[in-house]
Amino acid sequence: MSRTAISAAVDGHGWRYILGIVRTAVPVESLAAAADAAALVSATAGADADGHLWLDVRPEQLIITVQTRSVGWVTDTDLGLVRRITAALGERGLRTEPGRDSVARPVQMLEIALDAIDIAAIRPFWKAVLGYTDEPGNDGPEDPLVDPYNQGPAFWFQQMDEPRPQRNRIHFDISVSPDEAPGRIEAALAAGGRLVSDRAAPMFWILADAEGNEICVCTWEGRDEHWASVSAATSGQ
């Protein structure tokens, strides 16, 4: 299923697609209320809960993440869960939303990218020192690493052709929904940042702080077309 199709299927329910998951936030007034909402969500998911559901219970909100863990992607089962969970919460007077207005920050995901000459040589070190595991379905010598408990940011490697002095080798990727990106970029620029490049927009914009440390503001838009063109170019070789 494409990113475009996933986003179209969940946006109207107050969820957002980000980096292979769909996520929403449910505003609540207490930790007890969040726990009650979590119990309702788990019961609604039923047998699908363990393989598809993450819950982050906090006094001001319940954050719900859905993904088919075995494949590391959003499937039809997950879209069905989104509809069922949204309806069940709605019957209790609770709403699912991407986070803007009700809480301080919209749903998002953080990744750390490391530029490397020989990814296969350094990847085992980072896997061991972080206590991370292979991303589901991606266990090659250059593939990303993930926190098995979904607490820390994903860690991925960007291929370098040669060392580049005077440039930071580790940078952050902050993935947000397409509707959140313009405001996030505007706020960062107003806070003293600068735009390094928007050539890959709307997939990502490269920003930097006043000392040149970089971060990419990323969305899913344009990625289906990008990977389709990469696949076509590769198959044609």
Describe the strand order of the beta sheet including 170-175 as a list of residue ranges. 133-134, 145-146, 154-159, 109-116, 170-175, 214-218, 204-208, 194-197
- State how far the Cα of 18 lies from the Cα of 72, in Å rounded to an integer: 12
Tell me the β-bridge partners of 73: 68
3-91 has which CATH code?
Answer: 3.30.1360.20
**Angstrom distances, CA of residue 160 to CA of 116, 117, 233:** 5, 5, 21
Which pLDDT tens digits describe the chain residue by residue (237 residues)?
899 999 999 999 999 999 899 999 999 999 999 999 999 999 999 999 999 999 999 999 999 999 998 888 999 999 999 999 999 999 999 999 886 554 556 788 899 999 888 999 989 999 998 889 998 777 788 889 999 888 889 999 988 877 666 566 888 999 999 999 999 999 999 999 999 999 999 999 999 998 788 899 999 999 888 778 777 776 665
DSSP class of 212? -
- Where, residue-wise, is CATH 3.30.1360.20 in the chain? 3-91
Residues of the chain with CATH 3.10.180.10: 109-235
* Nearest to 13, CA basis, from 107, 76, 78, 86: 86
What single-letter amino acid sits at 4?
Answer: T
Question: Residue 2 in contact with residue 224, Cβ under 8 Å?
Answer: yes
CATH class, range 109-235: alpha beta
